[in-house]
Structure 1
């Protein structure tokens, strides 16, 4: 029987990438779980060959039905959901716990969970949400759900994957002014200036192509979940310093660019009141305090993602030239040249 992999968040950036990758492999069946099965994104998945079912993560009966017969489960929760800003409402952890409990009840064997690092622990409490005590930064609450899922007896394998800085974020013209205008709006000197705090440590930053690599990395995990059980997978495509990023952009496009670090610390980064950027600001605080370590206590590494990408490419019968992860220079060349 062909194993079914269910995807919570199948119409989002991460879940959609996972679905599109898995749908290329006839060894798997894909079941997308969404709150709106009639949405345009849901219909697009159906056209690609996925089964799409409608379920509310807070409704145990819904989720048990949606997860029946699934061998594996990928979960990504939307940390920017407006619902989490209601101090009297449910939390993201409540949703994650509900989904995990339903998956256990449906006898799902393998869970790949889009998680985050233990921010509070890794910074000795120096970086945490400064709003209400009920709230946690997005990475911290995901890590809390991950720990709940890892409790003995729930799954045969639990594999957390932490996503790096999306390369695709550079495509957003709306966000570019917050980061100095790069790579869309030149400054008064004619440069596309990337203005952010230093990363910390050796200032090497992990970047991820959601479109090209993320889904293949996750599929690589599902090809052999027992091997990766408990391993925190660094979800990335390339590791580059911000100065190297703008140099890559210049090389790929021929346009003038420069990096200007915001000094003296991450706290000087102005989010212009945009709530979604508060976690970005805290990310810089986190990495500066941890010496540039973003995924866990171990240094950032790309060999695991490269191995998983290669395993997927081989399983799909792709030519060897398509085995590698996307370099940010090549991303800029394809999108901006």
Structure 2
């Protein structure tokens, strides 16, 4: 009997990767959720065999219909979409709150809606049939030091927080997958990742200590294979999806070796990190993330998170892309030219 896997955000980085991996398994029928089934990306996925359905993340009843009968549900929330939208910025101003906080409210509510809708079809889910993309809880893990790292806490407050508190039966079938730094994130913060110098060399500038290791993930290439592997594990566990762990100092060393361009890492102050961003609120959110990555750590200092090697030790295939492998296939012309 074919099982339905419902994938939230099927036209996005994570959802698209998950859909493509489950399409390779004939036991699954992939149902992809998107707000615009007529988009070019949605139509491309439909041609590949995905059942593309319209989903409004602000409408619980609509989500219940989209999730109905699923054996497995993959959820992912998006902080940055409401963060940058002009109408959301205006709404935040009307409410008298920061755009960072407003984006938290939107992401949290959408995550809550997904959890409520998934709970409605909990009976059809496999034992490990609810897999949520999330991050560590910065507020809790830092003992209150980071109170405004909203794109972390909006996820963690729902997955696992809200689910455990409000849907215990769903929680029994849940696995939480934290995602490492996207290896492609340099495209979002060009004034901090690879800043070209007068002598032709490049410098990376973050407030994280040079030798602090952080997890790195090839999001489009590996999220699907990781989630597919997690679905074969027992429920109730938490993971870190990463293909490589290293410091930003080593990141630049590997990048220089691959590209042939001289590069170095420079630890900078909060002020300099924020100032480098074209959008100051964006810079502040990133700055908190990089400081949090320093102490207690990107994963919140949680050494119990399972990784790809742990999954492989359970005799489950879990191929992941190393940082050097990613760099060798990436197009760096937009950075170096």
| Structure 1 and Structure 2 fold alike (TM over 0.5) | yes
Q: How many Å separate the matches in 2 of 1:34 and 1:336? A: 28
Aligned residue runs from structure 1 range 98-177, under 5 A: 98-107=113-122, 108-109=124-125, 110-129=129-148, 137-146=150-159, 147-151=161-165, 152-170=168-186, 172=187, 175-177=189-191
1:317 equivalent in structure 2: none
Task: Find the aligned partners of 2:225 and 2:289 in 1 and give their Cα distance.
Answer: 25
Instruction: Tell whether 2:243 aligns with 1:237.
Output: yes
- TM-superposed CA distance for 1:180, in Å, is 4.6
Determine if the alignment matches structure 1 residue 216 to structure 2 residue 225: yes
- Say if 1:104 and 1:154, in contact at 8 Å, map to a contact too: yes
Following TM superposition, by how much is the alpha carbon of 1:188 offset from its aligned partner in structure 2, in angstroms? 1.1
SS at match of 2:25: coil
Q: Please report how far the alpha carbon of residue 179 of structure 1 lies from its aligned counterpart in structure 2 after TM superposition.
A: 3.0
Q: Are 1:95 and 2:110 an aligned pair?
A: yes
Is there any run of 5+ residues in structure 1 with no aligned partner, and where? 130-135, 315-322
Greater mean alpha carbon deviation, residues 36-45 or residues 303-312: 303-312
- Are 1:31 and 1:51, in contact at CA under 8 Å, matched by a contact in 2? yes
Does 2:334 match 1:334? no
3-state DSSP of counterpart to 2:71: strand
| Correspondence list, 1:19-38, <5 A | 19-38=19-38
Aligned to 2:335: none
The match for 1:294 among 288, 294, 298 is 298
CA contact (8 A) 2:249 2:264 kept: yes
Question: Does residue 91 of structure 2 align to residue 77 of structure 1?
Answer: no
- State the SS of the aligned residue for 2:169: coil
Residue of structure 2 in register with 1:279 after alignment: 285
Structure 1 residue 45: Cα displacement:
1.2
Aligned residue pairs total 308
Q: Could you tell me the TM-score, scaled by structure 1's length?
A: 0.83
Query: Partners of 2:140 and 2:208 in 1: how far apart?
Result: 21
How far is 1:336 from its partner?
Answer: 4.7
The residue matched to 2:237 in structure 1 has which SS? coil
The CA distance in 2 between the partners of 1:191 and 1:272, in whole Å, is 22
CA distances 1:18-57 after superposition (whole Å, capped 9, x unpaired): 1111111112211101111111111111111111111212
Whole-angstrom distance in 1 between the partners of 2:250 and 2:54 = 44
CA offset digits 1:259-312 (Å, max 9, x no partner): 12214xx4541233254443221111212331xx222432487x6224547989
Q: Is the 8 A contact 2:172 2:236 kept in 1?
A: no
State the alpha-carbon separation in 2 of the partners of residues 42 and 206 from structure 1: 30
Displacement of 1:79 after TM fit? 0.5
Which residue of 208, 213, 220 corresponds with 1:198? 208
Structure 1 residues 14 and 311: CA distance shift in structure 2, 3 A: farther
Alignment RMSD, CA only?
Answer: 2.5
